[in-house]
Structure 1
Amino acid sequence: MLPKRITYLEKRDGMAREDFRTHWSTVHADIARELPGVAAYRQNHVAAAVSVPEEGTPYRVDGIVELWFEDEGAARAGYGSEVADRLVLDEPRFLSGLSGGPVAAPGIPDPRPHKVWLLARWRDAETADRPGVEAWAAGLAADLQGAPDAAVNTLGPGAELLLRDALRHEDEIPEVAVVLGFEDADAAAAAAARAGERVDGLRQVLRRIHVYVAEELVIV
């Protein structure tokens, strides 16, 4: 299993969404392509959020980074590299917030242009039920047109978070990220609505559940 990092991005205050997308997918992505040891890098540009009643404040997320490394040594080298320093310098040009960390996740999936992300926190970290979340995600995928693959990413207990002194960060970073990929934007939107309707099946183990639709760009 390749080491993976997920980072949640909040666009710069007052910046147009299209300008955020352009800078992230060109200037910033061109720097990130040079990170040593990267096996895959996906950008997820959030296009819409689905209202989930009684789940509190949504996460401040306009973009989601998925980074896979060749091994843990490569991940440490990448984050400690001169390229990482250049990325940090560029971040305030298009970001107001950044929160991330290492996750347990399946291998690198096939690219999908449209994705649904369900983000949440464990209700009780001591009774975290990853298999239960995986079963819920698999059941949802089986009920959807085309039966898309579902992946569950979980933040490691006590994981060292990726934060920046110059940027805001989530007080409660998502500890669980369920991802479903689609070829069609309408199918992704319908799946997001279905996921929002079925969160009752997760509320015993998860809280602060929110659902987002995103467009995926493959950078590496």
Structure 2
Amino acid sequence: MDDDSRTARWERRVGIPLGMASLLYLGSYAVWVLGEGLPEPVHDLCLAVMGGCWASFAVDYVVRWGLSGEGPRFVHRHWLDTVVVLLPLLRPVRVARVYESLQRRRQGEPRMSLQGRVMLYAGLSAVLLGFAAALSVYRFERADPQTTVRTFGDALWWAVSTLSTTGYGDVAPVTLPGRLVAVVLMGCGLALLGAVAGSFSSWLMERFARDGDGGGPPAR
């Protein structure tokens, strides 16, 4: 079989395990950041779990690169996968693809419409991405004397207002790493909101067109 079919088989095989590894990575990172009073061995265990999960992401990237047969072009043609390997905290957003993998295993095709899947993936990705960004900003900001992110609740509030493009400005990162996280979250927030708005508009247009083709209420 060709490289595309081999790549598709590989992605179907590892989709769910890698999705679980993504959640495990995020959970371990959350414990590592928020568990300040926990024993040192627990922190070491979290770091070990995070390292193991990242290794599985890297192996998946290398295998798909080899199966693609694209050579160096794979890096820029699949730039998002490259970024996710370099910034593993973005990996949990791919958990949204687990739903599609489960549906394909059951019936061969997803039961939801394309618009519904886009809105589901975008919503789930926004929740996971916002949580990961809140953890990162809280980690970088909490030790700075000028910070306005004093608690994890402040970080969550900042993530929600940033993702929604509201940006009240009452809580904002002041460190360079925190601001870099903010830039990434702003870009992702715009993309996710655009995907949801576009899919919802498309769904409305389809419904209006379907109602218009119906020719009015049925005759009695």
Q: TM-score, normalised by structure 2?
A: 0.31
Q: TM-score, normalised by structure 1?
A: 0.31
